[in-house]
């Protein structure tokens, strides 16, 4: 879904920049069925989302028929958050996953029968959900939402390493939700610091997927879990035809009607087809060092949740 | 595989927390922390608390095999029913440290999702016990012995839950008595079955499975010396595994 907007920006606001930019020698990245210079892609992603952050949810709802909420619920229930967890949600600017994780932890705290054994309040206070996104506007939307929920949060600029942050905060006490501006391929978190890592509908937009996976492996603790929710490939015979028709004919038409932007949606659908298949992506995850890698198809493969452990 | 080794290490560490935290995810999470793994590893266990209970059952089985080997000389000096009682006692004593939470473990095993594995582990355990006392039967006896011993073991296990005597003395007495009852019944059941098979008119009763069970029950009644009449025998419920 994000990828759609890449092309929109490339087509509209950035066209001038595009013509005058120099082609670097480092290589090319996929841009739907187009190719663009690698170093350009990340910047373009950032720029695009600045302009569409506020409409992001509407687009998701239209394209998935509201199902994206269920898929995110499923992702978080797979994660099984626990009180005291250090969790990192990457490319989750608007906070969908982060809020669900926090809600699950709070409800677990209330239902827990083991209260007498452990000091529950202390442990819950240790809970920390970090939301990392390359785009400041998406984070802004998330922060606004957090305020509406009454969730205290703190924002961090991507360059600061976390030890410094703790010192700066003075007490070693951070609120539960921390918004971080940063790049999935070069995370600013310490090694072995996270219990969980999720990336929902974001890994398709990363220029080097294997780098992002390796970063995920780096920041996870031993025993930590990697979860990725992403649009994926459908193989079931008849449903595949229906899905292709829906993707290539219906979605761009809706995009034209609602957002006056057929091209973005056309791009989006193409980029989904370019993303590696479930098994290939699972192999990439294994190559990054994860064990016990599995995937689960939702809606016959329209969406897939990949899971791996760092052992 | 490496992942399985890690999981076993976590479960092993989790066992130390069972007396305080029970057979729960919290115990597994505490165990994970002990081996320097994030509690997120819980996601790798499909039936979490059941995984812990099953691990314990497997470990106890291995320990039982080892213990029986070590004590094989002493066991040989005993009569069959004493040998059975001793082996069962060795096994039940392994549950003693967890006895305060064993009812919870039983309820986890009784959960329909976990029941097949639990039944299989118990069947293997009964097999191991009979094997360790020297049973080499290859006929129908193989099944009836294990089924009957399964009943005795379960009864003893449940009895142990409410046994507050020092060193579970009462449980061992209970176990010995039940084994004696059962062994006598088995022999008598065999004799009765033979006599029944000789009389032709009992043929339809014999051929039905329920008929065989009824015959065995009748034999039990005789062997235990309870002096039940045929009428009260017919009213009894069927013996279970």
Q: Which residue has the higher pLDDT, B130 or B197?
A: B130
Q: Is the pLDDT of residue B54 over 90?
A: yes
Nearest-by-Cβ selection for A311 from B3, B24, B26 = B3
- A244 annotated as a binding-site residue: no
**What's the token pair of residue B164?**
């507050």
Give chain A's length. 311
Using the Cβ of A42 and the Cβ atoms of chain B, whether some distance falls under 8 Å is answered with no
Q: Per mean pLDDT, which of A137-151, B12-26, B179-193 is the most reliable? A: B12-26
Domain boundaries, chain B: 1-46, 48-233
- Compute the nearest-CA separation of B35 from chain A (Å): 10
Q: Please indicate if any CB of chain B lies within 8 Å of the CB of A307.
A: yes
Q: Give contacts of A 259-298 with B, CB under 8 A.
A: 291-292
A184 is known to lie in a ligand binding site: yes
CB of A230 closer than 8 Å to CB of A275: yes
Residue B174, pLDDT score: 92
From the list B3, B20, B26, the residue facing A291 with the nearest CB is B3
Q: Which of A221, A291, A307 sits opposite B38 (nearest CB)?
A: A221
Q: Is A83 on the interface with B (CB under 8 A)?
A: no
* Cβ A170 vs Cβ A198: under 8 Å: no
Confidence of residue B149 (pLDDT cuts 50, 70, 90): confident
* Residue A57 annotated as part of some ligand binding site: no
Query: Please, is B117 exposed, middle or buried when counting C-beta atoms within 10 Å of its C-beta (0-12, 13-18, 19+)?
Result: middle
Cβ contact B40–A224 (<8 Å): yes
Closest-CA distance of chain B to residue A82, Å: 8
Question: Does residue A311 sit at the B interface (CB-CB below 8 Å)?
Answer: yes
Q: What is the pLDDT of residue B183?
A: 75
pTM of the complete model: 0.74
Residues of A in contact with B6 (CB under 8 A): 223, 311
CA dist., res. B177 & res. B184, Å (int)? 11
Quick one: closest CA in A to B32, which residue? A223
Helices (H), chain A: 2-11, 15-20, 38-52, 56-64, 67-79, 96-111, 120-126, 136-149, 162-169, 209-219, 237-245, 251-259, 262-274, 278-287
- Decide: residue B30, CB within 10 A, 0-12 exposed, 13-18 middle, 19+ buried: buried
Q: Tell me what the mean pLDDT of segment B50-70 comes to.
A: 94
- Alpha carbon distance B163, B103 (integer Å): 13
Side by side, the strands of the sheet bearing A86-90 are A153-156, A177-181, A128-133, A86-90, A194-200, A220-231, A303-309, A291-298
What average pLDDT does this structure show over B182-200?
64
In this predicted structure, the answer to whether residue B39 has a pLDDT above a threshold of 80 is: yes
Structure ipTM: 0.71
SS (H, E, C) chain B: CHHHHHHHHHHHHHHCCHHHHCCCHHHHHHHHHHCCCCHHHHHHCCCHHHHHHHHHHHHHHHHHHHHHHHCHHHHHCCCHHHHHHHHHHHHHHCCHHHHHHHHHHHHHHHCCCCHHHHHHHHHHHHHHHHHHCCCCCCCCHHHHHHHHHHHHHHHHHHHHHCCCCHHHHHHHHHHHHHHHHHHHHHHHHHHHHHHHHHCHHHHHHHHCHHHHHHHHHHHHHHHCCCCCCHHHHHHCCCCCC
Give me the pLDDT at residue A63, please.
82
- Whether chain A has a CB inside 8 Å of the CB on B21: the answer is yes
pLDDT for A204 equals 86
A210 is in an annotated binding site: no
Contact criterion met (CB < 8 Å) for B40 and A291: no
Widest pairwise Cα distance in chain A: 66
**CB-CB neighbors (< 8 A) of B29 in chain A:** 82
Domains of chain A: 45-109+124-310 (3.40.50.150)
- What is the pLDDT, as a whole number, of residue A2? 53
Do B43 and A79 make contact, defined as CB atoms within 8 angstroms?
Answer: yes
User: Which pLDDT belongs to residue A45?
Assistant: 62
Using CB atoms, pick whichever of A85, A117, A292 lies closest to residue B21. A117
B36 touches chain A (CB under 8 A): yes
Helices (H) and strands (E) in chain A, counts: 14, 10
Which of A82, A117, A311 is closest, CB to CB, to B20? A117
Q: Tell me which chain A residue has its CA closest to the CA of residue B20.
A: A117
Percentage of chain A surpassing pLDDT 90?
Answer: 35
Measure the CA–CA gap between A91 and A199, rounded to whole angstroms: 6
Q: Which residues of chain A are modeled with pLDDT < 70?
A: 1-26, 31-32, 34, 42-55, 111-125, 152, 156-174
**pLDDT tens-digit readout, B82-128:** 888 999 999 999 999 999 999 999 999 999 999 999 999 999 999 99
């Amino acid at each position: 879904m994000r990828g759609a907007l890449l092309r929109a920006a490339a087509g509209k606001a950035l066209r001038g920049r595009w013509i005058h930019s120099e082609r670097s020698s480092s290589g090319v990245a996929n841009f739907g069925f187009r190719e663009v210079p690698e170093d350009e892609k990340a910047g373009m992603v950032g720029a695009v989302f600045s302009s569409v952050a506020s409409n992001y949810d509407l687009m998701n709802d239209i394209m998935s028929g509201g199902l994206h909420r269920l898929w995110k619920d499923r992702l978080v229930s797979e994660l099984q958050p626990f009180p005291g967890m250090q969790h990192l949600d990457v490319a989750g600017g608007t906070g969908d996953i982060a809020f669900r994780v926090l809600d699950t932890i709070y409800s677990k705290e209330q239902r827990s029968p083991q209260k007498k054994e452990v000091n529950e309040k202390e442990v819950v206070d240790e809970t920390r959900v970090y939301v990392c996104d390359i785009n400041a506007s998406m984070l802004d939307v998330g922060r606004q939402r957090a305020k509406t929920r009454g969730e205290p949060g703190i924002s961090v600029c991507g360059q600061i390493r976390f030890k410094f942050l703790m010192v700066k905060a003075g007490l070693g006490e951070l609120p539960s939700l921390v918004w971080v501006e940063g790049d999935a391929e070069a995370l600013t978190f310490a090694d072995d610091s996270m219990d969980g890592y999720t990336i929902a509908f974001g890994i398709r937009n990363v220029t080097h997927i294997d780098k992002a996976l390796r970063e995920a492996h780096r920041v996870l603790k031993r025993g930590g879990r990697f979860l990725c929710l992403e649009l994926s490939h459908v193989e079931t015979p008849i449903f595949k035809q229906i899905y292709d028709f829906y993707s290539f004919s219906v979605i761009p038409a809706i995009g034209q009607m609602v957002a006056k932007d057929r091209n973005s949606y056309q791009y989006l659908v193409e980029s989904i087809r370019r993303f590696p298949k479930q098994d290939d992506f699972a192999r990439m995850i294994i190559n990054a060092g994860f064990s016990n890698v599995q995937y689960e198809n939702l809606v016959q493969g329209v969406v897939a949740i990949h899971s791996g452990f760092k052992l | 595989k490496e992942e399985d080794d890690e999981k076993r290490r976590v479960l092993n560490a989790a066992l130390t927390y069972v007396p305080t935290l029970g057979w729960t995810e919290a115990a597994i999470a505490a165990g994970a922390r002990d081996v320097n793994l994030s509690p997120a590893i819980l996601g790798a266990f499909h039936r979490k608390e059941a995984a812990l209970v099953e691990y314990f059952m497997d470990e106890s089985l291995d320990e039982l095999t080892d213990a029986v080997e070590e004590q094989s000389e002493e066991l040989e000096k005993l009569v069959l029913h004493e040998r059975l009682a001793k082996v069962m006692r060795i096994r039940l004593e392994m549950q003693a440290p967890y006895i305060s939470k064993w009812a919870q473990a039983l309820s986890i095993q009784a959960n329909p999702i976990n029941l097949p594995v639990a039944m299989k582990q118990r069947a293997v355990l009964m097999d191991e016990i009979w094997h360790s006392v020297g049973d080499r039967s290859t006929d129908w006896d193989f099944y009836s012995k294990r089924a009957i011993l399964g009943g005795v073991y379960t009864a003893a296990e449940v009895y142990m839950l409410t046994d507050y005597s020092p060193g579970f003395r009462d449980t061992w007495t209970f176990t010995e008595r039940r084994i004696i009852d059962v062994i006598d019944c088995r022999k008598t059941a065999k004799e009765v079955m033979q006599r029944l098979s000789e009389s032709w008119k009992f043929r339809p009763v014999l051929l039905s499975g329920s008929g065989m069970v009824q015959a065995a029950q009748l034999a039990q009644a005789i062997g235990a010396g309870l002096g039940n009449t045929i009428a009260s025998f017919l009213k009894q419920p069927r013996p279970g595994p």
